[in-house]
Amino acid sequence: MTDHSTSLSASPTPAAGAPSNERRRLITGSAAIAGVAALQALGFPSIVHAQSDKIRIGHLTPRTGFLGPLGEYAVMSITLAVEEVNAAGGVLGRQLELLSEDSVNPSTASSKAQRLLERDGAAVLIGEISSASGLAISQVAARNQRIFVNTGCNSDELRGKNCNRFMFHVEAANTSYVKACGGALLRDNMIKGKKLFGLTADYAFGHDLLRAAKRFVEANGGTFMQDELVATDATDFSPYLLKIRQAKPDLVISNLSGNQITNFMKQYAEFGLPYPIAGFTLDTAMAWGAGADNFAGTWPLTWHHDVAAPSAKAFVAAFTKKYGKPPENQAWGEYVALKAMVQAMTETKSTDSAKMIAYLEKGAPIDVLKARKGSFRAWDHQLLQEMYTVTPKPKAQTKDKWDFLQLGQAVPAAGDTLESIAPTREENACTL
């Protein structure tokens, strides 16, 4: 910045009628004050002050690659949640400001998380779908002693050996997905004494899910006769489908992720294989991508837009009105995470992570848009909650292109503890 007072003082004597240096400074200062006053009169308060007074929410989610379609729902949903909070008066008398970034991959996720916390002053971080990126973000959050709420990373290890005090999990763990779907498969006599053929996403999430799947299947009398690792960028499933045809399994199990699931469903239907299928994880958007004619089998979900809880119906109505389509389970995760953080800030009257952690660890009930409220477990920060299974809906009952999943009963049953489908300490030890 140029120092104008110095340049003006270079003239030893002001011209006749010209103001002195001191008077110039007074005039300049008065003009500045008047300018600010004018802006305020026009409805523009101090811009710098207004910006710093907002509570910033850092949001990270993949917008590209095989998880990109889920990331789009994540952005839409958290945007809606922030708008709702701000319209209701904000938090602690302050508006929320959403800073959303494409996390892309673990290294990018780490650097962007660092920037959101250190440069932008985000009060909390929310989001992610990739377990590898989620781990990277959680490490940054821990170093900066700021909360990170995981909305889409399933890996048990994030709640186990890689857990930390500053990471909370709205998304269910792989073990919970396996137990939710596995219970339905046991009920239908699809595991005990059966030979299973697995397809597994070849990255951290898939390997973790396979471990949980094998533990459950073997404990209940089933066997994985074969398992194939599938690259995350694979689009042609014919080599795997030929192997399935040759193996003749009793059940085909998907441990796939993202648009792998969509491609698998489509091509499995095209091949016309007679073997029943099931999956140990699912995002609604991936089923929608496959379409009603290709969706088959039994799959677990954290949430579905047909859940009858009043808060779920309100969320579905608001999302559908804004975006012209219903929300899916990733959208649910973002929405619940943002509202949970707002609740913690409101109840503690603070944005301080330590105070919010203490509040959440006490088991504060959280509206998770289901029949039963959830709560974060103190020893691993996992959200205890109901889950569901879905199967194909009879075509005569479908209403539109998003309405072909038949929502099953909540798991666990109403009389059972929510702990019953969560990882145990023995299955997944965590030291915060």
Whether residues 396 and 268 fall in one domain: yes
Whether residues 116 and 203 fall in one domain: no
Whether residues 351 and 317 fall in one domain: yes
Whether residues 287 and 406 fall in one domain: yes
Strand pairing class (299-301; 148-150):
unpaired
Assess if residue 164 is contained within a domain: yes
| Res 44: pLDDT | 41
Whether residues 264 and 315 fall in one domain: no
Whether residues 197 and 289 fall in one domain: yes
Residue 354 lies in domain:
54-172+307-385
Assess if residue 225 is contained within a domain: yes
Residue bearing tokens 């808060």:
311
Q: Is 361 exposed, middle or buried (0-12, 13-18, 19+ CB in 10 A)?
A: middle
CB under 8 Å to 420, separation ≥6 — which residues?
A: 179, 412
Whether residues 93 and 162 fall in one domain: yes
Assess if residue 223 is contained within a domain: yes
- Which residues, given as ranges, of the chain have pLDDT below 70? 1-52
**CA–CA distances in Å: residue 57 to residues 61, 207, 309:** 13, 31, 27
For the chain, the domain total comes to: 2
Assess if residue 39 is contained within a domain: no
What's 348's domain CATH number? 3.40.50.2300
Assess if residue 45 is contained within a domain: no
| Res 52: pLDDT | 58
Digit-coded pLDDT (tens) for 177-222: 999 999 999 999 999 999 999 999 998 899 999 999 999 999 999 9
Q: Is 37 exposed, middle or buried (0-12, 13-18, 19+ CB in 10 A)?
A: exposed
Residue bearing tokens 């996992």:
382
Whether residues 288 and 410 fall in one domain: yes
Domain boundary among 385, 406, 426: 385
| Res 66: pLDDT | 87
Assess if residue 83 is contained within a domain: yes
CB under 8 Å to 29, separation ≥6 — which residues?
A: none
Contact 151, 337 (CB under 8 A): yes
| Res 204: pLDDT | 86
Closest CA to 152 of 70, 81, 229: 70
Residue bearing tokens 């119906």:
313
Whether residues 313 and 370 fall in one domain: yes
Beta-carbon-side half-sphere exposure of residue 189 (alpha carbons within 13 Å): 0
pTM, entire model = 0.86
